[in-house]
Structure 1
Amino acid sequence: MSTTTSYALRDSMTMLRRNLKRAQRYPSLTLSVVVLPVLMLLMFVYVFGAPLGNGIDVPGVGGGGREEYTNYITPGILLMAIATSSIATAVSVCTDMTEGIINRFRTMSISRASVLVGHVLGNVVQTAVSLLLIVCVALAVGFRSNAHVLEWAAVLGLLLFLAFALAWLSAAIGLGSESVETASNAPLPLAFLPFLGSAVVPPDSMPEGIRWFAEYQPFTPITETVRGLLLGTGIGNDAWISLAWLTALTVLGYVWAKASFNRVANR
């Protein structure tokens, strides 16, 4: 059993290196995933920051213009970046399926699971780089956090957990897509979910039906947990709700992706 596990880990690390090297050789998708959230941050801060900042009043954040809104929007941008980054997993998985590389892997003595694990971990690594860049830009444009080291570590863990969960969901979507174009469009609802939560404005400012959806969808408690850890606002039960959502999404994505991969690989 231990030998089988060690082979699976070795194969997964090989597939991870493969996906990271491919990201270096074909940087266009990687750059779009990294640059788009930064542009969104700059747009929300410098275009919408003053009016939105004056229009919202959140305990611990306030409603005093662009400076306060920069603190409010930055956690939301971090989640948007993760959701956007997950699209790359669907595209890369679908590319492997449509270009026949999976047929080559079938003839090799490697762990089947390692193919998907490599894609998922590769996306998590790229997402971590994107998050680091966003935090640096956010600090440059005025974001200020009173979090200590352990709170920053908790934020990082939660964000990477989200990246891991969405990468598995996107891998499953990529396996079920007939073309790269479909794979790039199918995960878009994931990228829009933060907008329908508390990432941009508080749910209390939304119409009743949308407010109900915003309060009970998974991105809202995750956003509020990250915001609370970084800014010292109240978290309440949001942390436990976030962990429950992330665990459920990871299990769903893994089971769905594994079943889809086995079905395709056994054809």
Structure 2
Amino acid sequence: MTRPDTPSVRPEAPTGHQAHGHPAVGPRPLARTRSFTRRGGRMLKDSHQAAWDRYADALVLDVPRPHGADGSTGVDPAHRMDPEEVFGRTAPLVIEIGSGSGDALVHAATEQPGWDFLALEVWRPGIGHAMAKMGKGEPLTNVRFVEADAALALQTILPPGCAHEVWTFFPDPWPKTRHHKRRLVSAEFASTVADLVRPGSLWRLATDWADYADAMRTVLDRHTAWELESTERAPLRPLTRFERRGIEAGRHITDLAYRRG
């Protein structure tokens, strides 16, 4: 029994990162602003499922999820990946953030077999679609996928200075003003990407939303790590059906390449 003159003391509930579902940071996940939408559920078309069944064991990396977060797009922040071990060689590494249905990824990996390509994509049907584009032969040995939210995973999963280039082609534009805070390209994320690449390396971006292009330039022109290199089309970025639809709808395609200082 508590004495009348002795106040009872309750332990404070965990807050901040201590409320997260990881042994280092606590028991339950925090709400966060996502930079992506989970489109169309997680069902794969038959052809994409067949490609997943054929190639996933070889190409989709099995990464640990945060404690108690089955089905999460997060990656355990304690997990580290060595690209040379993953690909079994030393080669220039391209990280594609949001590979979508894999048009740029599969095209580039085919055209540049001497480079390695690591794609981070939250949309499993997109990964299946990308693998379907490889045909029914042997998988592309210079491609790997991580099914994860790049904005979080890239803060911890890779060693600094590991990437030759980073690609962010047509990220979700979040066109409504009230949703602009969800856009991936922010000052914070620009710092994350800057840590991933060596000085002189490029971050290539593309969008078909003019105001997002302006916002990207504002963010990166102000960031001390980045300097505008080019507004020409990325050499390995193919013209896709998605891009054609944007052009037909009257949207201008903006390509940007920023060099790490």
Which structure would you say has the larger Rg? 2
Shorter-chain TM band: under 0.3
TM superposition score normalised by structure 1:
0.25
RCO higher in 1 or 2 (8 Å CA, sep ≥ 6)?
A: 1
TM-score, structure 2 length as denominator? 0.25
Q: Which has the higher helix share?
A: 1
